[in-house]
Chains A and B, each alone.
Chain A
């Protein structure tokens, strides 16, 4: 079945620096890749997503890149702020799109 690996598990950056989180997936038929942010004690919230027919997508300080050949996708956060501190999850849907498999999460700390 589909497997999603996420790295790093913990990331600490200085305010204003960039943060990059990387994920790989196993199912070559996956075609939808969302990213979720979960603040402490709260529900996961979608921050950006990308489909397999697109290589890159940006939304203000957040961008996601997808390399279908390598089965690899990444989240890029620029000009990080303390409020970006949270756990970030990548995910991929399996063939058919009914099952969503999440990565293990990256705990991002942004130091002021």
Chain B
């Protein structure tokens, strides 16, 4: 158990819909990272927050947004969903930048 909790584990929805993925970091970790992993693909960095502030953005689509709340949990919002958004979405947390990241078990999103 990494201490990082992601909910839900699975999500099935239709094109055009909007979903919210939730992540609770390990106790004491201030940084939260979001990654997208498509089938048999690598980990694509989406966005990173540190203590409530956005610190870095990767190739995150405009249809996607995220935030980190005062209690440090984070949410990734995906809207106007397309078939290509089907993937495993991982959240990771760390104490700070340049520190080991601990991954959650991921949310598997399936778009029908």
Contact A93-B2, Cβ < 8 Å, known A44-B90, A100-B33:
no
Stretch of B20-28, B63-71, B75-83, B101-109 on the interface side: B101-109
The interface size of chain B toward A, counting residues with CB under 8 Å, comes to 25
In the complex, A111→B105 CA distance in Å? 27
A31, A46, A98 interface centre (most CB from chain B within 10 Å)? A98
In the complex, A46→B101 CA distance in Å? 7
- The residues of B that contact A44 with a CB separation of less than 8 Å are 43, 90, 103
What band does the interface of chain A fall in when counting residues whose beta carbon is under 8 Å from B? Answer: 20 to 34
Known: A44-B103, A46-B102. 13 other contacts (CB 8 A): A32-B99, A34-B100, A43-B2, A45-B2, A46-B101, A93-B98, A94-B56, A96-B97, A97-B97, A98-B50, A102-B42, A102-B43, A103-B42
Chain A residues close to B by CB (< 8 Å): 31-32, 34, 36, 42-46, 49, 51, 89, 93-94, 96-105
